[in-house]
Amino acid sequence: MMASDTAALPFVDRRTTARRAHLWLGLLLVLVSLASLAVGASGTSLWGALLKLAQGEALTLTERVVLWDIRAPRLVMGICVGGALAVSGAVMQGLFRNPLADPGILGVTTGASLGAISIIVLGAALPAVVQTTLGAGLLPVAAFLGAWWSMLLLYRVSTRAGRTSIATMLLAGIALSALFAAFSGVLIFLADDMQLRELTFWSLGSLAGASWVKLSIAAPVILVSVALACTLGRGLNGLALGEAAAHHMGIPVERTKTIAILAVSAATGTAVAISGGIGFIGIVVPHLLRLATGPDHRGLLVNAGLLGASLLLVADMIARVAVAPAELPIGILTALLGSPVFLWILLRKRGLVDM
């Protein structure tokens, strides 16, 4: 009886699609990475260098510097930041049960920025012990704390008795963004000329500042927090039904929420610390993937990481090539791409805001 029913209407299992997508998106990331190494203002050829290596010849100094010290760290940073932002977006959307949640829109990025700006401006006033022990990690740590506090505040304000009011969440995000931006404004006002230069470069949002030194701190943090986030699939699936229902299905709700908030804060905070404000990756990528492979978070989180990394690398290539030898701030590109998608979701699903 069952067999005939299912035969009458062929049953599609989207989990298979999601699993296949792991493979295709992985392949895409490899191709985009190679392209990213090959493209650049200097005209150094990746293929030429690879050919030389294959024939056992030595690379010229230019080739080594361009490929290994400029393009390679930039590639790794693009992968880390793109993956971190996309996974953070997917986790936040799961946590808030809404496809419009995003670290950029809800003030988490602004919180991280405030943390980073405080260090750039006020860092010198910190006790010497703190400065020497944390060293180059100071900026990421401050950005993480900023992101973490804004996540906690946001969750407290918008979630009452296990239910998240979406209108409250979006409005709270706007208010928090404005508040953090105001604090940042005060700090920028206090900054001296040197600090202003540093702030401006940083806040443009770019992968241009990539270096192995920065990555040695940022990459492990991002990898760990993204890996942690990817274990939340089952918990976030349960939370999609609401906190009470998730609890009834045996999901440790409080633990899932705590891990989600920590992972998003660490990933977003670190990404912001090394690349400034790059928006909308976190909203575009999970949304596209949900359309293609369904909302099951177990496949979605990994796929989001892969696609987010590829997307940011593509955006970075465009940013490098479009107005070469100058470089577009990548944040502009992602916003150009992302804001229409955000509006599109809003228009197609007006009901979401009333929930």
Partner 1 sequence: MLNAKDISVSYGPKQVLHGLSLTAEPGTLTAIVGPNGSGKTTLMRALTGDVDFSGRITLGDTDIATAKPYDLAAQRAVLPQATPLAFPFQAVEVVRLGLRGGIETNDRLALTALSRVGLDGYANRFYQELSGGEQQRVQLARVLCQVWRPVVSGVPRWLFLDEPVSSLDIGHQLTVMQIARDFARAGGGVVAVMHDLNLSAMFAHQIVLMQSGRIIGHGTPAEVLTDAQVSRAYGCDIRTSTAPQDGGWFMLPQSADNMEPMPAAQSA
The bridge status of strand 163-164 relative to strand 159-160 is antiparallel
How far is 207 from 313, CA to CA, in rounded Å?
9
7 binds partner 1 (CB under 8 A): no
String marking each residue 148-167 x if it binds partner 1 according to CB under 8 A: ------------------x-
Binding to partner 1 (CB under 8 A): which residues in 49-78?
A: none
Which residues, other chains included, contact 274 with Cβ-Cβ below 8 Å and sequence gap of 6+?
Answer: 77, 80, 81, 140, 209, 210, 214, 215, 218
CB of 156 to partner 1, least distance (A): 18
Using the minimum distance from each CB to partner 1, give the nearer residue, 101 or 306.
Answer: 101
* Residue that has been written with the tokens 């829109």 in this structure: 105
Token pair recorded at residue 74: 């930039």
Asked if 2 touches partner 1 (CB under 8 A), the answer is: yes
State how far the Cα of 330 lies from the Cα of 30, in Å rounded to an integer.
21
Count of chain residues binding partner 1 (CB under 8 A): 35
- Closer Cβ to partner 1, 95 or 311, answer by number: 95
Least Å distance, CB 3 to partner 1, is 10
34 CB burial (10 A radius; 0-12, 13-18, 19+): middle
SS3 157: helix
Distance CA 84, CA 90 (A): 10
Site for partner 1 in 78-137 (CB under 8 A): 93, 97-99
Task: State which of residues 8, 58, 125, 347 lies at the interface with partner 1 (CB under 8 A).
Answer: 8
Residue 355 lies near partner 1 (rule: CB under 8 A):
yes
Contact (CB, 8 A) for 224 and 270: no
Q: Does 240 bind partner 1 (CB under 8 A)?
A: yes
- The residues that touch partner 1, with contacts defined as CB under 8 A, are 2, 5-6, 8-9, 11-12, 14, 93, 97-99, 166, 234, 237-238, 240-242, 244-245, 247-253, 290-291, 294-296, 352, 355
